[in-house]
Amino acid sequence: MNALCTFQLLWDEKTSSPRFIREHRLRTEPLSRPIPIFNVDGTPNKEALITRRALLSYKKSGES
């Protein structure tokens, strides 16, 4: 069985590691408008927005 899946990764730059993005050579692009992040209590997070995205592909080969 061969399968190819594509994922859209969204993240905020304050909690994501720029090093991880560089090391894995992920291509990113800005969102047309930032997406707000909410705290667990439902209040808006004042310090972080999701501002970029990356498209990731995952390929699985062999038996499932």
* Mean pLDDT of all residues in 1-23: 67
pLDDT of 1 > 60? The answer is no
Tens digits of per-residue pLDDT, 14-59?
556 777 778 888 888 888 998 888 999 999 988 778 888 877 777 7
Place of tokens 């970029």: 52
CB atoms within 10 A of CB 11: 19
Domain region containing 16: 3-59
The overall pTM is greater than 0.85:
no
Inside any domain, residue 23: yes
SS3 33: strand
Pair 52, 8: CB distance under 8 Å = no
CA 51, CA 11: separation in Å to the nearest integer? 7
> Residue 64: inside a domain, yes or no?
no
> Per the domain annotation, does 51 fall within a domain?
yes
Total structural domains within the chain: 1
**3-class secondary-structure state, position 19:** helix
Task: Tell me what pLDDT residue 33 has.
Answer: 93
